[in-house]
Structures are given as C-alpha cells and as structure tokens.
Amino acid sequence: MDNFIVSARKYRPATFRQVVGQQAITSTLQNAIKNNHLAQAFLFTGPRGVGKTTCARILAKTINCTNLNADLEPCDQCESCRSFNTNSSFNIHELDAASNNSVDDIRNLVEQVRIPPQVGKYKVYIIDEVHMLSTSAFNAFLKTLEEPPAYAKFILATTEKHKIIPTILSRCQIFDFRRITVEDTANYLQYVADNEHITTDAEALHIIAQKSDGAMRDALSTFDQIVSYSGNNLTYKSVIENLNILDYEYFFRITDSILQRNITDLLLVFNEVIENGFDGQHFIMGLAEHLRSLLVMKNPETIQLMHASEQLKVRYKNQSSACHQDFLFKALDICNQYDLKYKASNNKRLHIEIALLALADINNQPAQVKASVAPLTSKPEPIKNDAGESKSTYQPVTKPVEKAPPPPVSKPETQTPSSPATPAAERTKPEAASPRKMPESETGNGKVMRNISIKKSMDLIKNGKENDDQKPVEVIDNPFTQQQLETAWNTFCRAYEEKSPSFANALAKYVPAIGDKHVITYKVDSLIISKDTLGISSLLEFLKKELHNNQITLTATVPDKTEPKKAYTDREKMERLIEKYPAVQKLKDQFNLEIGF
Ligand SMILES: [Zn+2]
C-alpha cells in the first residue's frame, strides 16, 4: 500500500500561478520581485487556510531561485529550488509562534539572522501566528525588524491582525488575504478530483466549497474525508450524509407545498426531516437560506450571490419565478422570527409546524386585512389646546370606517416610544396609511377630538410605538431661554445620576445650546453616548416637559479637543481649582487632604 498524502499537502501550490483565489497578492509580489522592490518585512493576514504560509514559502523559493523563468516563476531545477522542493533548504526558517512564543525563541531566531546565507541570496524567516508572541518577545524582535541585514526577509503571518502591535505593523508591508470564493474552491477541487481519478458531481463539490467557508485547506480535508468514506465516486448524496447537511430537495418540496398550501405534505416532509435526525432549528435556518436563494435569483444583479452549480441554479430560478417577491419577504420574515424564538419554545416540533402553517397562510391573505387594532367605541371627547383653537385635528371613529382603515399591526421591535421618525413599517406600506388629518370643519368649533381606548393604549404599549395617524398631537411650542435650558439640563443630569452615572456625567460635562428650530445641540466626548436610546429619550421627555415645548429635538456633536470642559465631578472641580490657584495643591499635599466621596 502506498503512502497516502493528504490532498492539502499534495496539492499545496508550488508557484504563484497555482495559488487559488489570491491573484491580487501574487501579482503584487511578482511585480515587486520583478522591479527589485521587495520589502524586508511582510505581514500576511487573513482567515485560516487561505494560503498565507503557502505564499510565504513560494516567495522564499522564488527570490532564491537563480534561474527565474520569464513569468517570474522558480525554475525547479537549480540547487536552491531543489532544496526547497525537498524541504531541505537552509534559507527558509519557519517559526510557529503559537508554540514558540517566548523571548528565548525569538532570541534564537535573531541569532540565526546574523549568519548570511551560504547558497542563494536571501534567508527568509516565516513567523506563523505571530500574534501569539508574548509582549517581551515582540520587543526582542522589534530591533531586528527595524534594521535587518539586507539578505534577511521576514514574513509574519497571522489570522488576527488587530492583535499585532502598531510598531510591528508600521514596519511591514501588509497583504490582506481574502477568503477563497466558492467557485474558485469548487474548481480547484474538480482539478484535484480529476488528478486523483475521482468522479464527482458539481453539486457535491459546491457543497464542500460552501462548507469550507473560504479556506482551501478545510475544503481539501473534507474532500479527503468523504473520498475515504465513499470511495472514488463522490456524489451529492455522500457529501450531505457525511457533512450532516439537509438535502436541498426537502426545501424545494417544502416551498412547493407552501405555495400550494398543501399542509398535509408540509407536515409529512418536516416529519421526514426530524426522523432523519435533524433538529427543527437546523431546518428553519435551511429553509430561510433556501428562500433567500430564491429571492436572490429574482434579480439578475444579485444572481452572483448565489453559489451553486449551473444545473441547480436553473432549478432555483424556476422555483423563484413561481414565488412573488412579497411572498418571499414575508416568508423570510416568518422564518427569521421562528428561528429567533426557537430556543424559548417548549414544544420545538410544534413551534416549527406552526411556522410552516404560517408560511402556508401567506398566500391566503389579502394584502391588508389584518386588523388587530380594535375598533374604537368610546365617545369622542372634545379637548382644547392652550391657544383655544385647534392646530391638529383627529378623525372621530364614529364616522364610517372607509376613510380610515385600521392600520396593520407592526412588528414589536421597530421603534422606541419617543422616536420621532416615521415607523418604517408604515413607509413601506403606503396603501395602509390612513388619511393623516381631517378637514377642520369636520370636527366643528375648532375643537380637537380625542378618543380614549384602553384597548388602543394596550396595543400601543404592545407594539412599542405610537401611531401618529391615531393620536392627535398637540403642538406646544413655548420659547425658552438658555438659562432655563441649562437649569433643566442640570436637573436632569442630577436626577439621572442614580440610574446611569456614566450617562449623566457625560451629559453634564458640556453646556447644551439652543439651535435653530427647536433643536438643542449638546456635546459628548463620544457619539456612543447619544446612542443610549433609553437615556436620550428620557432626557428628551424631561426637557419637553420642563421647557413646555414638545417640538424639541436633540442633536449630539463631539467637541474639539481644545474646548474647555465643565468641571462636574468633585475631583474635576478640585483639579480646576488647583489649576487656578496652585497654592491649593500645596495645601492639599501639606495636610494630606483627599476629596471626600
Ligand atoms: Zn530555481
């Protein structure tokens, strides 16, 4: 029995041209070699298994070849090339920083750097997983990296660029390796299969490529694994069995059944899935993926997002044309919702079955029948605003309904209560929007009509947003002074300190200002503060109430570094005091004073 060599090793590219999916990098490197513009240190970063170490080795081999051919590929004949091919070259040193990350390891390496190469021009040092080096090892390495001898080249490889200290980064030429595309991976697998005399189907290779997530090494190992399991005939069936993947056939059938509203079939197919050992979440996620593929196939521009064999694409295209885009949107939404709630459900099987029923129900619903906001039955009650005349009016619900169909219930997660923006759900459904205001005459006597309904309030709370078509908003727009604003602002900050000291302190640091058209501008050190929706909406509500003006909006800015801060905490006040009167510092030191907290 001859020795089995894993494909990832056997088919490791030996020249730049063989490297898959990194053309930008290989051609840059080749150009640098051609123009003799090679940097001394390189950083190869990117996900695992995409060819970083391979490229490093090819680079080492190429720059040491004494007889480069016209395409700048190594000759494979000269002494250097031969020693590289047999892994016996003295000009390449590989250090795996994951296991050799101490200062001593680096010192050993630095020692070696001093010795010039005996054969060939360059010594190449490859440090893999360089982010694993300890800080002291990094520092020990820094000097060598700063002034390396002309014959030394360093190639640092890492999957986590953000962990490399800036002093190292700034001394390296950085190459970002990309994930290898599904197409490229599948093609390469085909090449390997052909060489190994393994028959395959395109679908099988695509699935392996997809599962490898851009890493060729993973793809080749999976390939080996399945070949050893299923022999020299690699079929789609053997791949999905081996990788525990749900057959797309299920999803084609499920989608057909949904479209035909064939509930019996839906439940039966799902039963089959469960009996084959897949769990419900796996299934609903797979279904969502399938629906996404159908959606992607609808538009010629997005077809490129679809990774499948040409044959399978035709099937997707056919099913896609049977589905309306709206149907796909709704179906995806349902899948997503049930996926999110899956963990919380007690009867997981039933949970998915309900999802399937909901999916089957989509095509049964006319566009806008869902009316879950209860009809408002209480009598309209006239109210007046401050000015005694109506500024905004509201339609009493005793009127015939045709004018204002109940709006569709929107998704609970859309908006925070105080957000002034139009709810997104409504913008996308113009047909559901009810007339915003009624003519004044209809309310009579310039009086504003308001309806009060517990059910409605409950719905508002439940939906997490207010519907401005339903609620009359009285405009209160009293002018206020800077002084009033500051007082209100400080009161809020004090009051809010207990709830969120960091938020309150951040707001209190700077003085707010009155801008144009009810805008209050305030400064924060970081805009993250202004993303605190709860805090900001509490502040806004408070200001509206305190300043008797409900038109106020807030805008956050980040101040220049030079701008003076307002002393807020006791410590800051103390520091400010010392700045102004240095003697205070003396006093503090002499009596060993501390600020009381
Ligand atoms: Zn050579």
Residue-wise DSSP of 246-273: --HHHHHHHHHHHHHT-HHHHHHHHHHH
* Cα–ligand 1 centroid distance for 69 (angstroms): 9
Residues 236 and 304 in one domain: no
Residue 321 covered by a domain: yes
Residue 563 pLDDT greater than 60, yes or no = no
* Cα–ligand 1 centroid distance for 158 (angstroms): 28
Q: Who wins on pLDDT, 513 or 559?
A: 513
* Cα–ligand 1 centroid distance for 540 (angstroms): 72
Residues 408 and 317 in one domain: no
* Cα–ligand 1 centroid distance for 474 (angstroms): 84
The pLDDT of residue 241: 86
Residue 67 covered by a domain: yes
- Residue 26 sits in a domain of what CATH number? 3.40.50.300
What does pLDDT average to over the chain? 79
| % residues pLDDT > 90 (the chain) | 28
The pLDDT of residue 554: 86
Residue 415 pLDDT greater than 80, yes or no = no
What are the CA-CA distances from residue 542 to residues 242, 464, 487, 550 (Å)? Answer: 61, 19, 12, 10
Measured CA to CA, the distance from residue 130 to residue 127 in angstroms comes to 6
Residue 199 pLDDT greater than 50, yes or no = yes
* Cα–ligand 1 centroid distance for 114 (angstroms): 24
* Cα–ligand 1 centroid distance for 179 (angstroms): 30
* Element spanning 341, H or E: helix 325-341
137-156: pLDDT as tens digits: 888 888 888 888 999 999 99
* Cα–ligand 1 centroid distance for 84 (angstroms): 9
Phi and psi torsions of 494, nearest 5° = -60, -45
Q: Indicate the pLDDT class of residue 566, thresholds 50, 70 and 90.
A: low
The pLDDT of residue 2: 56
* Cα–ligand 1 centroid distance for 262 (angstroms): 67
Residue 349 pLDDT greater than 80, yes or no = yes
* Cα–ligand 1 centroid distance for 92 (angstroms): 15
* Cα–ligand 1 centroid distance for 65 (angstroms): 4
* Cα–ligand 1 centroid distance for 251 (angstroms): 53
Measured CA to CA, the distance from residue 132 to residue 323 in angstroms comes to 51
* Cα–ligand 1 centroid distance for 117 (angstroms): 16
Residues 43 and 100 in one domain: yes
Residues 311 and 202 in one domain: no
Residue 21 covered by a domain: yes
* Cα–ligand 1 centroid distance for 215 (angstroms): 29
Count of structural domains within the chain = 5
Residues 167 and 23 in one domain: yes
Residue 14 pLDDT greater than 90, yes or no = no
Residues 377 and 499 in one domain: no
- Domain stops at, among 176, 206, 226: 176
Residue 481 pLDDT greater than 90, yes or no = no
* Cα–ligand 1 centroid distance for 33 (angstroms): 14
Residue 448 covered by a domain: yes
The pLDDT of residue 270: 94
* Cα–ligand 1 centroid distance for 82 (angstroms): 7
Answer yes or no: pTM beyond 0.75: no
* Cα–ligand 1 centroid distance for 126 (angstroms): 20
| % residues pLDDT > 70 (the chain) | 79
- Domain stops at, among 448, 474, 500: 474
* Cα–ligand 1 centroid distance for 14 (angstroms): 12
- Residue 521 sits in a domain of what CATH number? 3.30.300
Residue 2 covered by a domain: no
Query: Where do runs of H (alpha helix) occur along 181-309?
Result: 182-195, 202-212, 216-230, 236-243, 248-260, 263-275, 280-298
* Cα–ligand 1 centroid distance for 4 (angstroms): 28
Contact yes or no for 25/55 (Cβ under 8 A) = yes
The pLDDT of residue 385: 44
Residue 465 pLDDT greater than 60, yes or no = no
**Burial profile 142-174: b = 16 or more Cβ within 10 angstroms, e = fewer:** eebbeebeebbbbbbbbbebeebeeebeebbbe
The pLDDT of residue 177: 93
- Residue 202 sits in a domain of what CATH number? 1.10.8.60
Closest CA to 80 of 33, 27, 118, 128: 118
The pLDDT of residue 426: 41
Question: How open is the CA angle 545-412-295, to the nearest 5 degrees?
Answer: 135
* Cα–ligand 1 centroid distance for 122 (angstroms): 13
Pick the most confident of 218-232, 328-342, 392-406. Answer: 328-342
Mean pLDDT check: name the lowest of 129-133, 144-148, 363-367: 363-367
The pLDDT of residue 28: 92
Residues 261 and 358 in one domain: yes
* Cα–ligand 1 centroid distance for 171 (angstroms): 29
* Cα–ligand 1 centroid distance for 80 (angstroms): 6
Residue 527 covered by a domain: yes
Q: Which domain holds residue 447?
A: 373-474
* Cα–ligand 1 centroid distance for 431 (angstroms): 72
State mean pLDDT over 72-89: 87
**Can you name the residues that pair with 519 across neighbouring β-strands?**
553
- Domain stops at, among 474, 505, 520: 474
* Cα–ligand 1 centroid distance for 503 (angstroms): 65
* Cα–ligand 1 centroid distance for 296 (angstroms): 48
* Cα–ligand 1 centroid distance for 190 (angstroms): 29
Residues 466 and 389 in one domain: yes
The pLDDT of residue 448: 41
* Cα–ligand 1 centroid distance for 77 (angstroms): 5
* Cα–ligand 1 centroid distance for 153 (angstroms): 18
Q: Indicate the pLDDT class of residue 443, thresholds 50, 70 and 90.
A: very low
- Residue 352 sits in a domain of what CATH number? 1.20.272.10
Count the helices and strands in the chain (H runs, E runs). 24, 12
Q: Who wins on pLDDT, 315 or 455?
A: 315
Q: Sign of torsion, CA 352 355 357 359?
A: negative
Residue 298 pLDDT greater than 80, yes or no = yes
Q: Who wins on pLDDT, 202 or 3?
A: 202
* Cα–ligand 1 centroid distance for 151 (angstroms): 18
* Cα–ligand 1 centroid distance for 119 (angstroms): 12
* Cα–ligand 1 centroid distance for 73 (angstroms): 8
* Cα–ligand 1 centroid distance for 74 (angstroms): 5
Residues 238 and 275 in one domain: no
* Cα–ligand 1 centroid distance for 580 (angstroms): 73
The pLDDT of residue 220: 92
Measured CA to CA, the distance from residue 497 to residue 20 in angstroms comes to 57
Residue 596 covered by a domain: no
Contact yes or no for 295/332 (Cβ under 8 A) = yes
* Cα–ligand 1 centroid distance for 123 (angstroms): 15
Closest CA to 544 of 385, 418, 390: 418
* Cα–ligand 1 centroid distance for 64 (angstroms): 7
Pick the most confident of 142-156, 402-416, 570-584. Answer: 142-156
Residues 358 and 429 in one domain: no
Residues 24 and 145 in one domain: yes
Residue 584 covered by a domain: no
Residues 29 and 111 in one domain: yes
As a whole number of Å, the CA-based R_g of the chain is 34
* Cα–ligand 1 centroid distance for 460 (angstroms): 76
* Cα–ligand 1 centroid distance for 81 (angstroms): 4
State mean pLDDT over 270-280: 90
